[in-house]
Amino acid sequence: MKKALITGISGQDGSYLSEYLISLGYEVHGVVRRHSVAENQNCRLHHLNGEINTHYGDLLDIPSLTRIISEVKPDEIYNLAAMSHVRISFDIPSFTIQTNALGVLNLLEVYKSIVPEAKFYQASSSEMFGNSVDEDGVQSLTTPMKPVSPYGCAKLLGFNLVRHYRHAYKLHACNGILFNHESPRRGSNFVTNKVVKTAVEIKKGLRDKLELGNLDSYRDWGHSKDYVRAMHMIINHETPDEWIVATGKTHSVRDLCETVFSKLDMDYRDYVVQNPKFMRPEELKYLKGESQKTRDVLGWQPEYTFESMLEEMIQRWMREIQIDQQEK
């Protein structure tokens, strides 16, 4: 039985990846950080109790990483842990750089020292491109990377560290450059779930407006379930490399609002207002990924559409809010 170690296992991608690997017969281990509120620790993992093994640790704590990897001896390591909110990275840039860059270095060092025969996957990000766009209107593996946020800068350093360690130490270490991907498990402070949750609350009479930042930012949005399948394909390809995972379709935040509110028989223009506090100091305007290599070589294809992903998210919040109202 193969063993997988997932950092960031309690996040959106970590929980879906755990489910997927369990379905393939893996023994799944995860690194979790201790929270002072116990209920927040593994809220996305409750349904997997008894099927996964969690270990307290932190990417910035080398002794904990050494202990965990020595005990588990994983065949595959998926580094999904990060300070993942781009807007907030402007407020806590030092912590972002430490976690998303120095944390990668720490994990690579422990991996190299203890299980160099294992395979390593790094969750890289489309935010590394910044506002660079190819002539054909996409970001590809040859597009210059010029990040415009502390988050993107940190992710780019982590990306390059993985490439360096692969070449310098002959490790099976690979990068998956994932464009935006969402799900019902996405944190509600991320724009997709914020829009969906608030729209449902407005529909239920619990709120009267939705405050957002830039409505004309364009993103390539996919579903986390599709993207964790790609992670497994990437790490198990015979040659470690860089890969882009994206739908190849782009939508603005305005499109997102229009789609979600119309599904609830409302006009977003009656409820959505812009608030400068949600604007980034430097905006990333447009993302659209070119993932042909991933599709051709690995055979990956997304199963969700933009609309079916949002419909699933809407149905989740309709159920959640109905339950909350019944309990009050």
Q: Give the pairing type, strands 76-79 and 119-125.
A: parallel
- Supply the pLDDT for residue 328: 60
Are 206 and 143 in the same domain? no
Is the pLDDT at 51 greater than 50, yes or no?
A: yes
Q: Is 215 domain-assigned?
A: yes
Are 54 and 121 in the same domain? yes
Mean pLDDT of 180-201: 94
| Contacts (Cβ under 8 Å, ≥6 apart) of 133 | 139, 143, 286, 288
pTM recorded for the entire structure: 0.94
Residue type, 53: N
Mean pLDDT of 52-60: 95
Are 113 and 147 in the same domain? yes
Are 45 and 149 in the same domain? yes
pLDDT band at 10 (very low <50, low <70, confident <90, very high): very high
Q: What is the CATH number of the domain that holds 49?
A: 3.40.50.720
Are 199 and 151 in the same domain? no
Q: Are 5 and 30 in contact (CB under 8 A)?
A: yes
Are 28 and 160 in the same domain? yes
Are 200 and 153 in the same domain? no
**What phi and psi values does residue 56 have, to the nearest 5 degrees?**
-70, 130
Q: Is 313 domain-assigned?
A: yes
- Supply the pLDDT for residue 298: 98
Is the pLDDT at 17 greater than 90, yes or no?
A: yes
pLDDT band at 187 (very low <50, low <70, confident <90, very high): confident
pLDDT band at 3 (very low <50, low <70, confident <90, very high): very high
Residue 105 belongs to domain spanning = 3-182+222-245
- Supply the pLDDT for residue 36: 43
Mean pLDDT of 113-142: 97
Residue 159 CB neighbours (<10 A): 22
- The encoded tokens of residue 14 equal 């970590």
Q: What is the CATH number of the domain that holds 213?
A: 3.90.25.10
In order of 62, 71, 194, the CA distances from 66 in angstroms are 6, 8, 37
Distance CA 194, CA 208 (A): 14
Are 229 and 207 in the same domain? no
Instruction: Write down the H helix ranges in the chain.
Output: 12-23, 62-72, 86-89, 93-97, 103-114, 150-169, 191-203, 224-235, 253-263, 292-298, 306-327
Is the pLDDT at 226 greater than 70, yes or no?
A: yes
pLDDT band at 91 (very low <50, low <70, confident <90, very high): very high
Please give the share of the chain, as a percent, with pLDDT higher than 70.
95
Mean pLDDT of 280-301: 94
Please give the share of the chain, as a percent, with pLDDT higher than 90.
87
Q: Is 101 domain-assigned?
A: yes
Q: Would you name the residues annotated as active-site residues?
A: 125, 127, 151
Are 49 and 122 in the same domain? yes
Q: Is 231 domain-assigned?
A: yes
